Amino acid sequence: MKLENLISKGTNASVFRDGNTAIKVFNKDFPKTEVLNEALNTSRVEETGLAIPSISEVSINNGQWAISMNFIEGKTLYQLMKENPDQIQSYIEKMVDLQLEIHSKRSPLLNKLKDKMVRQINSLDCIDNVKKYDLLTRLDGMPKHIKVCHGDFNPRNIIVAKDKWYVLDWVHASQGNASADVARTYLLLSLDDAKTADLYLDAFCKKSQTEKRYVQTWLPIVAAAQLTKNKPEEKDLLMKWLDVVDYE
């Protein structure tokens, strides 16, 4: 494989293009279990029939793990939203349709979203035990569903190709409550731009006939989960969301 044509550099990995192949090369010392977990999650999701890149190889080169998959030609939805701000409403609607399609799938062997959230809340040092208990009780009281959830569904992980829209980056895929996945997308969009986030939540709730209040009940939980990423620039907003107890 040729690693010359760099197309993206992230925190944990760089993505290269070699002809029709995209190669995600993880940083040296990035844990093998996480790479294999990403590959396994992705291939489980591929079995549901969703339009996603198909993994062709998992390899190691000079101590760096890599996942190879087919290269999807197109722009990310994030790029398109920046280029065509007047089309934001139609982009958001299509994004919601795509997320609803994901939620319509089942994959019984994927990890449970709720188990992951319990682990994340328990691992936080920046909140006290009372707050943890509050969040865990709230989480426990939420309806238990088994819908496929992307876990990081946002415009940067969507590629708009000629024929259709593809979703990338399935490392956080799980099965669980769709509204938690929607609350997470709302949170990710809010960290970027509050107006787009509100358009998204309106569109989702309208299309899926979900009460906004129900999605909002998840906000303190998804904010706690995001706090585990330890990004200083996000901390103020996330701590504020933790304390929004109820919207009723």
Ligand X SMILES: Nc1ncnc2c1ncn2[C@@H]1O[C@H](COP(=O)(O)OP(=O)(O)OP(=O)(O)O)[C@@H](O)[C@H]1O
120 phi/psi in degrees, rounded to 5 = -65, -45
Q: Does the footprint of ligand X cover residue 168 (CB under 6 A)?
A: yes
Q: Does the footprint of ligand X cover residue 84 (CB under 6 A)?
A: no
215 binds, options Mg ion, ligand X, none, Cβ within 5 to 8 A by partner type = none
Q: Does the footprint of ligand X cover residue 169 (CB under 6 A)?
A: yes
Cβ nearer to ligand X, comparing 96 with 159 = 159
User: How many contiguous H segments (helices) and E segments (strands) does the chain have?
Assistant: 10, 10
Q: Residue 165: beta bridge partners? A: 160
Task: Pick the binder of ligand X from 12, 89, 90, 122 (CB under 6 A).
Answer: 12
Pairing verdict, β 55-61 and 21-26: unpaired
What is the largest distance, in Å, between two alpha-carbon atoms of the chain?
56
Cα-Cα-Cα-Cα torsion 72, 112, 146, 39, nearest 10 degrees, comes to: 20
Q: What whole-number distance in Å separates Cα of residue 158 and Cα of residue 153?
A: 8
Cβ neighbors of 72 (< 8 A, separation 6 or more) are 22, 53, 159, 161, 166, 168
Residue nearest to ligand X (CB): 10
Task: Pick the binder of ligand X from 39, 55, 58, 69 (CB under 6 A).
Answer: 69
173 binds, options ligand X, Mg ion, none, Cβ within 5 to 8 A by partner type = none
Q: Does the footprint of ligand X cover residue 31 (CB under 6 A)?
A: no
Taking contact as CB under 6 A, which single stretch among the options 65-73, 134-142, 177-185, 187-195 is the one that binds ligand X? 65-73
Question: Which residue, 62, 63, 64, 93, is CA-closest to 77?
Answer: 93
Q: Does the footprint of ligand X cover residue 38 (CB under 6 A)?
A: no
Cβ nearer to ligand X, comparing 169 with 181 = 169
Q: Does the footprint of ligand X cover residue 13 (CB under 6 A)?
A: yes
Contacts with ligand X by CB under 6 A lie at: 7-8, 10-13, 15, 22, 24, 53, 69, 71-72, 76, 156-157, 159, 168-169
